[in-house]
Amino acid sequence: MERRKLSGPSDIRKSKGLLDRYALMERVEATVQPDVLITNIGELVTLSPLARASRASHVNPDDLGIVKNAWLQIKNSKVEKYGTGPAPALPQGAILSNARCGLVMPGLIDCHTHPVFAGSRSNEFCMRLDGKTYQEIAEAGGGIKSSMMATRAANEADLLGETLARLSVFLGHGVTSVEVKSGYGLSVDSELKLLRVLRAADKKTPQHLTVTCLALHAVPPEHHSAASWAREAAEKLLPQVAREKLADCVDAFVENGYFSADDARSYLDAAKKLGLRIRLHADEFSESGCAKLAAEYGAESADHLQHASDSGIAAMRTADVVAVLLPGTSLYSGIPYTNARRFIDAGCAVAVATDFNPGSCVADNLPMIATLAALHCKLKPAEALVAVTYAAAYALRLHHHKGALHPGYDADFLVQPMATHEDWLADLGRSRPSQVWIKGQRFL
């Protein structure tokens, strides 16, 4: 199959400047943060009711905790308090920022991305236009393995540069926390390389990163079976990942032609023993029993879920597994959208993420994906907003300090150039935030 050259040069050049800028940010972080007062807020979305109840399910419009004509005060990188009417006096040395009657909301959280890869798969996009399916493209030598070849050949510095450049685009859309997966190395050494790149990116980017080892993404060419790679990953890769603290979570693509639930067990058992948390690519193309597997292993989230069974959804609800919907993949790959109502009606928390990756979904605009989820996964406005903030924090178990603008929470927030959250959702990701703050520090 013809493969294009690495897509990097311009991204890498861009990221060189970024590295310098991020080095500057690290220095700022070392000093004490000044207090901040944001005034003249038209609509402040706090999500305080959810934070107070530590609940991401059964979301209703009151859960948005909206305050009109508001102000927001930040102290020591955290939300100190908020209110309506005249703002309090500016504390000495504090930074004052005017929201110009705009919307202020929690920073967005993208809880499912694949940002570390090399190469381009635009040829596969063209094959899809010719009517080929994701599986047919994979069988013809494309898909995950095509990215694996390019990624194995790339060095750590280039991968880091490209990853940082991608994260900076996420930041421009208002994404202040990101879950980032490996999965294009698919050997012990190459997966370790990608995880080291992600840990290095974590030190350089202002965003909070949750790092996930997705060793079971596809069966590498060196292995004759899925079970044999799963065993090697369990016995050789995961212990090293845990020793070097290279990842927070593990993930597996449980799907026909990739890994069965049984193939994944040795790997998930090893992960649990090593204290690595679990998330799963579940029931995307067919019902593979993965929603139930996620519940059985106490996974934090099960993602995709187009074909989850009713009993699988009930099991997810009981085990508090968050349903992560990825409508960008449906749009880009022409597969069905997941119906959020099945999960919401069963009492599951529902989050939405981009699934940004080089093959099945190149979308990195999370606000656009939230609108897509409202339109096609049938989320109501409050549910869609919560799906990319508090519920996404819950999916990553960050919800005790991120995903809401509640006293004591990290001051990760956006000032938007529109008046209300309905304006934001109807905008299809067209407008960028006019201010992006992470832990009380302004980055855009």
The site for ligand NIG (CB under 6 A) is made up of: 114, 143-144, 147, 253, 281, 284, 329, 355, 357-361
179 binds Fe ion (CB under 5 A): no
251 binds Fe ion (CB under 5 A): no
CB of 337 to Fe ion, least distance (A): 15
Residue 41 to residues 83, 93, 95, 100, 285: CA-CA distances in angstroms?
A: 10, 21, 15, 7, 44
Q: Concatenated DSSP letters for 64-111? A: G-EEEEEEEEEETTEEEEEEESSPPPPPTT-EEEE-TT-EEEEPEEEE
Q: Quick one: what does residue 358 bind among ligand NIG, Fe ion, none, with the CB cut-off 5 to 8 Å set by partner type?
A: ligand NIG
Q: How far is CA 317 from the centre of its chain?
A: 21
Amino acid, res. 178: V
Determine the length of the chain.
Answer: 444
Q: Which is nearer to ligand NIG, 99 or 116 (CB)?
A: 116
Stretch that binds Fe ion, among 27-35, 120-128, 350-358, 370-378 (CB under 5 A): 350-358
CB of 411 to ligand NIG, least distance (A): 31
CB of 258 to ligand NIG, least distance (A): 8
Q: Which is nearer to ligand NIG, 105 or 323 (CB)?
A: 323
User: Residue 313 half-sphere exposure, CB side, CA atoms within 13 Å?
Assistant: 22
Q: Quick one: what does residue 297 bind among ligand NIG, Fe ion, none, with the CB cut-off 5 to 8 Å set by partner type?
A: none
Beta carbons of 185 and 148 less than 8 angstroms apart:
yes
CA angle 329, 213, 208 (to 5 degrees): 80
284 binds Fe ion (CB under 5 A): no
Q: Which is nearer to ligand NIG, 288 or 357 (CB)?
A: 357
Instruction: Choose among 231, 191, 246, 189: nearest CA to 214.
Output: 191
Beta carbons of 123 and 329 less than 8 angstroms apart:
no
355 binds Fe ion (CB under 5 A): yes
Beta carbons of 51 and 404 less than 8 angstroms apart:
yes
Separation between Cα atoms, residue 360 and residue 165, nearest integer Å: 20
Q: How many residues bind Fe ion (CB under 5 A)?
A: 1
Beta carbons of 387 and 352 less than 8 angstroms apart:
yes
Q: Which is nearer to ligand NIG, 102 or 119 (CB)?
A: 119
Q: Which is nearer to ligand NIG, 170 or 443 (CB)?
A: 170
Q: Quick one: what does residue 253 bind among Fe ion, ligand NIG, none, with the CB cut-off 5 to 8 Å set by partner type?
A: ligand NIG
Q: Which is nearer to Fe ion, 162 or 355 (CB)?
A: 355
Q: Which is nearer to ligand NIG, 104 or 324 (CB)?
A: 324
Q: Which residue is nearest to ligand NIG (CB)?
A: 359
Q: Quick one: what does residue 147 bind among ligand NIG, Fe ion, none, with the CB cut-off 5 to 8 Å set by partner type?
A: ligand NIG
The alpha helices in 244-356, defined as continuous H runs, are 261-273, 290-296, 310-318, 327-333, 340-346
Write out the residues near Fe ion by the rule CB under 5 A: 355
